[in-house]
A = this chain, B = another copy of it.
Amino acid sequence: MLIKIINPNTTQSMTKSIEKAAKKYAGKDTEIIAVNPVMGPDSIETYYDEYLSVPGVLEEIIKGDREERVDAFVIACFNDPGLYAARELTSKPVIGIAEAAITTAKFIAPCFSVVTVLNRSKHITKEIIRKYNAQDYCASVRATNLSVLDFDRCPEKGLEALAEESRKAVEQDGAECILLGCAGFVNFVEDLQKTLGVPVLDGVSPAVKFAEILVDMGCRTSKILTYGFPEKKQIIGFSDILKKLWD
Contacts and interface: CB of A to CB of B under 8 A. Distances in A.
A88 interface: yes
A221 interface: yes
Contacts of A93: 107-108
Q: How many copies does the complex hold?
A: 6
Nearest to A132: B106
B119 A230 contact: no
A107 B214 contact: yes
Chain A contact patch, size range: 35 or more
Interface of A: 10, 25, 27, 37-43, 45-52, 54-56, 58, 82, 84-85, 87-89, 93, 95, 99, 103-104, 106-111, 119-120, 122-124, 130-131, 133-134, 136-137, 147, 170, 174, 176-177, 197-199, 201, 205-206, 209-210, 212-214, 216-217, 219-222, 224-228, 230-231, 233-238, 242, 245
Given A41-B234, A209-B217, 8 more contacts: A10-B234, A45-B230, A48-B58, A49-B230, A51-B82, A103-B103, A109-B221, A177-B222
23 contacts: A27-B27, A39-B237, A40-B235, A40-B236, A41-B233, A41-B234, A42-B233, A43-B233, A47-B87, A48-B89, A52-B58, A107-B219, A108-B219, A108-B221, A109-B227, A110-B227, A119-B225, A120-B226, A122-B174, A133-B133, A133-B134, A176-B224, A206-B213
